[in-house]
């Protein structure tokens, strides 16, 4: 096709771009024939995240929520049992006169609080002891992501049950129901196993020790922060 016919069909910008490409290809061909180095166009690389997204935030937040929830639930059990038994909740000082007999009602509140804590902990642990090995084997086939999602969903469901029991003042036995639901989903032990297994899968021999140390640091730092924040929150709420 002649040049006037091409100009009549194609727009001016497309025609200019095509002619520029032809000139570039001709110049590259001449340089290759002459043995001169040719400049190539650099293709920009896709944007990548400089910090790889891993499981450290998952472990940090899960441990933080558990460490924040445990003392608050124990304090609620003390207050609720004290209210049910008619105890005013004031604890006797340990430095008081030893000849004074301890308050039997306070002893009963302490005993019931310890028993309910034991029942709740054993309920979640016993169920999780059966579920976690099954989830670990399943994660080898389905991947680590479902094993990290399911226990976190169970912990969130447990927190919802705890909140409903506290706000509606339901019997404390429903705490055990929430703990059992969390145990059925794997509980925190499944999160712990999934995080360490994921780090072992994606790391090499040189970086594995450092990555495991970071996970251990997440456990310690999150527990410390949760204890401090939980205590200050409880003191502020009275």
Local confidence band at 217 (pLDDT 50, 70, 90 cut-offs): very high
List the one residue out of 223, 227, 144 whose CA is nearest residue 186: 144
d(CA 129, CA 17): 68
Structural domain includes residue 213: yes
Structural domain includes residue 37: no
Structural domain includes residue 161: yes
Count of domains observed in the chain? 1
Structural domain includes residue 5: no
Structural domain includes residue 61: yes
Structural domain includes residue 49: no
**Count of helix runs (H) and strand runs (E) in the chain:** 8, 0
Q: Hey, what are 2's tokens?
A: 């002649």
Q: Over the stretch 130-172, which tens digit does the pLDDT of each residue have?
A: 999 999 889 888 888 888 999 999 999 999 999 999 999 899 9
Structural domain includes residue 4: no
Whole-prediction pTM: 0.69
**Residue 218 Cα distances to 49, 54, 83, 149, 159, angstroms:** 22, 13, 37, 18, 21
Structural domain includes residue 133: yes
Q: Over the stretch 81-114, which tens digit does the pLDDT of each residue have?
A: 998 888 875 555 455 555 556 788 889 999 999 9
Q: Tell me which residue range forms the domain holding 125.
A: 56-89+103-237
CATH of the domain at 211: 1.20.1250.20
């Amino acid at each position: 096709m002649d040049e006037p016919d091409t100009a009549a069909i194609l727009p001016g910008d497309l025609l200019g771009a095509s002619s520029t490409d032809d000139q570039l290809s001709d110049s590259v061909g001449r340089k290759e024939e002459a043995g001169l180095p040719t400049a190539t166009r650099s293709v920009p690389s896709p944007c990548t995240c400089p910090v790889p997204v891993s499981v450290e935030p998952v472990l940090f937040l899960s441990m933080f929520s558990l460490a924040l929830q445990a003392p608050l639930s124990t304090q609620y059990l003390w207050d609720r049992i004290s209210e049910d038994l008619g105890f005013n909740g004031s604890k006797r000082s340990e430095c008081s006169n030893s000849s004074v007999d301890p308050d039997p009602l306070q002893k009963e509140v302490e005993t019931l609080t310890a028993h309910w804590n034991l029942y709740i902990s054993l309920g979640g642990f016993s169920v999780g002891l059966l579920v976690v090995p099954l989830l670990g084997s399943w994660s080898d086939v389905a991947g680590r992501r479902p094993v990290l999602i399911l226990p976190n969903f169970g912990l969130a469901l447990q927190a919802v049950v705890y909140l409903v029991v506290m706000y509606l003042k339901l019997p404390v036995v429903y705490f055990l129901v929430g703990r059992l639901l969390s145990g059925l989903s794997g509980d925190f032990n499944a999160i712990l196993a999934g995080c360490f297994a994921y780090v072992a899968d994606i790391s090499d021999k040189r970086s594995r020790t450092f990555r495991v140390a970071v996970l251990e640091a997440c456990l310690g730092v999150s527990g410390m922060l949760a204890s401090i924040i939980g205590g200050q929150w409880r003191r502020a709420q009275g």
